Amino acid sequence: MKVFPNRIVATFVLVMMSPMLRAEQKTESYNGTFFGNPCQVTINWANFSGQGAVDGRIVDGAGVTFPFQGNNPRSGYLELDVEGQTYALQKQNAGGQISWNSPNLSFSRTSTAPVGPGATPTGTTSNLPAIGGGATRRYTGLYRGKPFTATLTWERPDGSGNVQGTMIIEGDMLSDFKGGETRPGFLEVEVSADNSINHKLTKGQQGVSTVWTGEYLTLNEVSSAPPGGYTPSTSPVAPYTPPKPPVFTPPTATTPAMPSPPTFVPPKMPAPPTFNPTGGTPPPTMPAPPTFNPTVTTAPATPGTSPVPAAGGTKWVIACEAEGSARTANAAVERWRAKGFNAGSLWIPDYSSLSGAKLWLVHVGPFEYSQKAEAQRMLGEVKKHYKDAYGIKIDNSGKRETF
C-alpha cells in the first residue's frame, strides 16, 4: 500500500518540471552589416534560453539571400556557417541594445525580452575580438578592356578608406595602384600605367564579394587576408633590380643557298665578209663582245640593325602569369607541368613584341606561327585552370598580337 502514493508523488514532480526542461524555440530579426554593406538577419533559435543549434538567413541591400546554419556553443557566443565560411560572433548588451559582432558580420536589435537567469549571459566591450587595422585583398577585373589581377591593401579592415597596391595587366605589365574613398562607397584612384589619370569608381555587391565599377576600370574581389596593420610608406622605395637573366641564344638562322649563276653562252659571231681584192667597201669593224657580270651584288645591311625574323621564326605562347624572379618563375613552371602542360618561361625584354616589363612570363607552348588554331585550342584547356590566360605572339617585330 505504501508504493502507490510514492508513484503519484513522482508523477506529479515530473509534470511540474516538464516546462523547465522544454527548450525555448524563438525567431528574431536584426539589422546589421555584412562585409561593410547593410543587411537584415533572421535567426531561428532552437533554445533561446540556453545553448543549441541556430539557422536563418542574411539578406543584403541588393536583395541577395545567404542562408546559414550554426550553433550557440556557450554563453555569449555564436558560430555561423555562411556558404562554407565560418563567422565567430560575440554578444554585447549595452543600454538594452543587443548586438552580435565579428570583423565582417555584425547585427543588433533593441531588447524586447528580459534576460533571465537561464538566458545567455551578456558580453562586454572588453572581451570583444580585437579588430586590427588594414585588410589585404585580391582582385580581378578589366582595365581599359584588358584583364588584370591586383593585390591591394586598405586602410581599414572592412575594405574602406585609403588603398594602395599593384596590378599585373594582361599577365605581364606591372602597374602601381593608389587612391582613397572621397566619401563612403565612392573611390578615386590613380593607375601608373595611365600617367596619373584619376578613375572614379562606385561600390557595389555581387554575392558576398565587393565590386568597384568605373568607366574604364572594374575591380572584382576574389579573396581577402586576415586583417592586419596598414602602414603606408613614408620613404621612397628603391627600384627593383631583377636578377640578371641568362644570355638568350636565338636559334641559328638558315642561310638559303645562292642560286648557281646562269651558264654563259657567248654570242654567235657573224661570218667575216668575203675579201674583195679589187676594191670596194672595207670589211666592217667587229663590235666588242658584251662584258658579262655573272653575279649581282646586293648592298650589305646596315651594321647593328637586327633583322625582323621571318614568319617561320615567330611563335605563339599561352601567357599564364608573370613573376619577378627566375626562382619564382621556375616554381610556377613546375606547377603548370604538374597539371600536364608543356610549360616554360621567358624574359619579357628579350622580345620587342611584348610589353618590355622586367618580368618573367610563365607560358604554355610555344607553337609555330602557322599553328594558331592549335594554340587557340590549348588556350581553352589552360583557361580551365586560369580564366585570365591569353595567347600572345613572341618575336622581335615590335608589333603586339594577341588572341
Q: Where in the sequence of the chain do the CATH 2.40.128 domains occur?
A: 7-127, 135-224
pLDDT of residue 343: 95
The CATH number corresponding to 7-127 among 1.10.287, 2.40.128, 3.30.420, 2.60.40 equals: 2.40.128
Report, as an integer, the average pLDDT of 231-251: 51
* 111 Cβ contact partners less than 8 Å away, ≥ 6 residues apart: 93, 96, 97, 98
H or E element in which residue 334 lies: helix 326-338
pLDDT of residue 103: 86
pLDDT of residue 247: 63
pLDDT band, residue 160 (cuts 50/70/90):
confident
**Identity at 87, one-letter amino acid code:** Y
DSSP state of 310: P
Report, as an integer, the average pLDDT of 141-165: 89
Q: Report, at the CATH architecture level, how domain 135-224 is classified.
A: Beta Barrel (2.40)
Asked if 322 and 359 touch (Cβ cutoff 8 Å), the reply is: yes
Q: In the chain, what percentage of residues exceed pLDDT 90?
A: 35
* Alpha-carbon span 53 to 71, nearest angstrom: 4
Q: Report the SS3 class of residue 254.
A: coil
Asked if 89 and 102 touch (Cβ cutoff 8 Å), the reply is: yes
* pLDDT tens for each residue of 11-45: 444 444 444 445 778 888 999 999 888 999 999 98
Q: Where in the sequence of the chain do the CATH 3.30.70.1070 domains occur?
A: 311-394
pLDDT of residue 119: 37
* pLDDT tens for each residue of 275-326: 555 655 555 556 555 554 444 333 333 333 333 344 458 999 999 999 999 9
pTM: 0.30
Closest of 118, 120, 76, 119 to residue 100, by C-alpha: 76
pLDDT of residue 396: 93
Q: Output the CA–CA distances (angstroms, integers) from residue 313 to 224, 251, 303, 344, 348, in the order listed.
A: 43, 9, 21, 18, 17
Q: In the chain, what percentage of residues exceed pLDDT 70?
A: 65
pLDDT band, residue 253 (cuts 50/70/90):
low
Average pLDDT over all residues of the chain: 76
Report, as an integer, the average pLDDT of 203-212: 87
pLDDT band, residue 274 (cuts 50/70/90):
low
The CATH number corresponding to 311-394 among 3.40.50.1010, 3.30.70.1070, 3.30.300.130, 3.40.50.1820 equals: 3.30.70.1070
In this structure, of 60-74, 189-203, 328-342, the range with the lowest mean pLDDT score is 189-203
Residue 380 has pLDDT above 90, yes or no: yes
* Alpha-carbon span 335 to 333, nearest angstrom: 5
Q: Which three cell numbers stand for residue 268?
A: 654567235
pLDDT of residue 209: 82
pLDDT band, residue 47 (cuts 50/70/90):
confident
Residue 379 has pLDDT above 50, yes or no: yes
**DSSP codes of every residue in 114-174:** ---TTSPPP--GGGSPP--S-EEEEEEEEETTEEEEEEEEEEETTTEEEEEEEEEETTTEE
Residue 4 has pLDDT above 80, yes or no: no
* pLDDT tens for each residue of 352-377: 999 889 999 999 999 999 999 999 99
